Homo-oligomer: A and B are copies of this chain.
Amino acid sequence: MRKVAIVGVGMTKFGEHWERGFRDLVTEAGVKALEDAGMSGAEISAGYVGTMAAGSLIGQEHTGALIADYMGLNPIPITRVEGACASGSLALRQGLMAVASGMHDVVVVGGVEKMTDLDTAEVSEILGGAGDQEWELFLGATFPGLYAMMARRYMHDYKATEEMLASVAVKNHKHGSMNPLAQFQNEITIQDVLDSKMVADPLKILDCSPLTDGAAAVVLAPLDIAKKYTDTPIEIVASAQASDTIALHNRSSIAGVKAAQIAAQAAYKQAGVSPSQIRVAEVHDCFTIAELMAIEDLGFFSKGKGGEASLNGETQIGAKIPVNTSGGLKACGHPVGATGIKQAVEISWQLQGEAGKRQVSGADIGLSHNVGGSGATAVVHIYKRVN
């Protein structure tokens, strides 16, 4: 396999883009990534896009071709990839294989979702399609409901508290306040989270990521020509994906995400690094409980110790392992198909020293962790700065 590097990145502001459509957002992100790589569309030979539910959200399937058209890239092939909230990372993985295989040289990979054109109840039902439609959604389980069950079990097994959950949101809002592209740039307190409206006990509204419009994109090239496009290529040194049961009720434990544990171990092996070598990580905090499980599943903290670590500030910028410097899904926002690519964009900026006020000093190896549904898909990528 050829080695592959990110040579350009770009993203829109995440938020409620009432005045702009799906195709506008993804085109903006794609063009920014091409500009960052200093190349024209003529150098691109293929593309991938992660989007979860454009068919249901905006009535548009076949978004790969739509994007090739609106980015002016015809006749190159662009392919849409979907794995619920992990769609972006799955697209990144396909782009990586397209370059690694030699089938294509320079590939653009985007992620996008336009979520605010429908009311919240409709969107909630559509997002429920990320779980088991027949055994969960049909019976009334929403995603806050599924993650609430995971949170209750986690709290029971490990004596975790609502304050520990809340500390994730507080930290991610703090990080988001330093990210001009984040949906929420306001700081909050633990008391704010505890006092906020209950959604699905024990998860309050400030434990939940928002509905978001947004897009992100990266340009991939073979590592051996990457310096043609950028002084600071970011090599993707591991890409691992694993599956678990689509429904929660079939799992041996719901106080962790087994697919993420398997993907993480495979990724560390591919990259030849250990968890302690990771200097910055973007993880899938669709709900606060998800980040506590993630930092354990990734081996940053031992099982059951994530809550205390989070409450103690060990995942903040400047501490042991800075997690979700972008603000994460919670504060940067969660346009589902875009999230996996935004993670790659944020890690690239961190490893390039381009992360502004939220820069992690000495960041040379980074990781992204993207989960689909309640953990039926998990994808872990590891990135290294090329010196």
Measured CB to CB, the residues of A under 8 A from B are 1, 21, 23, 52-53, 55-56, 58-66, 68-69, 73-84, 90, 93-94, 97-98, 100-103, 125-126, 128-134, 137-138, 239, 241-247, 250, 258-259, 262, 372-373, 376-377
Smallest CB–CB gap between A118 and chain B, Å?
13
Known A55-B129, A243-B69; judge A84-B61 contact (CB<8 A).
yes
Instruction: Name 8 A/B residue pairs within 8 A (Cβ), A-sorted.
Output: A1-B101, A55-B129, A65-B243, A68-B243, A74-B259, A79-B241, A81-B81, A82-B82
Are A77 and B130 closer than 8 Å at their CB atoms? Answer: no
Interface core residue of A77, A250, A376 (most chain B CB under 10 Å): A77
Residues from chain B with a CB closer than 8 A to the CB of A62 are 82-84, 129-131, 246, 372-373, 376-377
Are A65 and B377 closer than 8 Å at their CB atoms? Answer: yes
Smallest CB–CB gap between A136 and chain B, Å?
11
Are A245 and B53 closer than 8 Å at their CB atoms? Answer: no
- Which of the residues B74, B75, B79, B133 comes within 8 Å of A60, measured between beta carbons? B133
Residues from chain B with a CB closer than 8 A to the CB of A262 are 75
Residues from chain B with a CB closer than 8 A to the CB of A101 are 1, 97, 100-103
Are A82 and B69 closer than 8 Å at their CB atoms? Answer: no
Q: How far is the CA of A79 from the CA of B80 in the complex (A)?
A: 11
Q: How far is the CA of A133 from the CA of B56 in the complex (A)?
A: 12
Q: How far is the CA of A262 from the CA of B77 in the complex (A)?
A: 11
Q: How far is the CA of A68 from the CA of B55 in the complex (A)?
A: 23
Q: How far is the CA of A100 from the CA of B1 in the complex (A)?
A: 9
Please state the number of chain copies in the assembly: 2
Complex: chain B residue closest to A46, CB-CB: B241
Q: How far is the CA of A90 from the CA of B250 in the complex (A)?
A: 31
Are A1 and B102 closer than 8 Å at their CB atoms? Answer: yes
Smallest CB–CB gap between A253 and chain B, Å?
14
Are B66 and A246 closer than 8 Å at their CB atoms? Answer: yes
Complex: chain B residue closest to A376, CB-CB: B65
Are A59 and B133 closer than 8 Å at their CB atoms? Answer: yes
Residues from chain B with a CB closer than 8 A to the CB of A66 are 132, 246, 376
Complex: chain B residue closest to A126, CB-CB: B55
Residues from chain B with a CB closer than 8 A to the CB of A59 are 125, 128-129, 133, 137-138
In the A-B complex, the 5 residue pairs with the closest CB atoms? A101-B101, A65-B376, A77-B241, A68-B243, A61-B129
Q: How far is the CA of A14 from the CA of B89 in the complex (A)?
A: 33
Q: How far is the CA of A279 from the CA of B132 in the complex (A)?
A: 44
Q: How far is the CA of A90 from the CA of B78 in the complex (A)?
A: 10
- Which of the residues B55, B64, B90, B97 comes within 8 Å of A97, measured between beta carbons? B97
Q: How far is the CA of A259 from the CA of B64 in the complex (A)?
A: 14
Q: How far is the CA of A110 from the CA of B238 in the complex (A)?
A: 26
Residues from chain B with a CB closer than 8 A to the CB of A137 are 59
Known A103-B97, A243-B74; judge A61-B52 contact (CB<8 A).
yes
- Which of the residues B69, B82, B94, B372 comes within 8 Å of A246, measured between beta carbons? B69
Complex: chain B residue closest to A21, CB-CB: B134
Known A68-B243, A94-B94, A376-B69; judge A80-B78 contact (CB<8 A).
no
Are B77 and A80 closer than 8 Å at their CB atoms? Answer: no
Q: How far is the CA of A199 from the CA of B190 in the complex (A)?
A: 62
Residues from chain B with a CB closer than 8 A to the CB of A242 are 75-77
Q: How far is the CA of A55 from the CA of B61 in the complex (A)?
A: 10
Q: How far is the CA of A60 from the CA of B247 in the complex (A)?
A: 12
Q: How far is the CA of A316 from the CA of B247 in the complex (A)?
A: 48
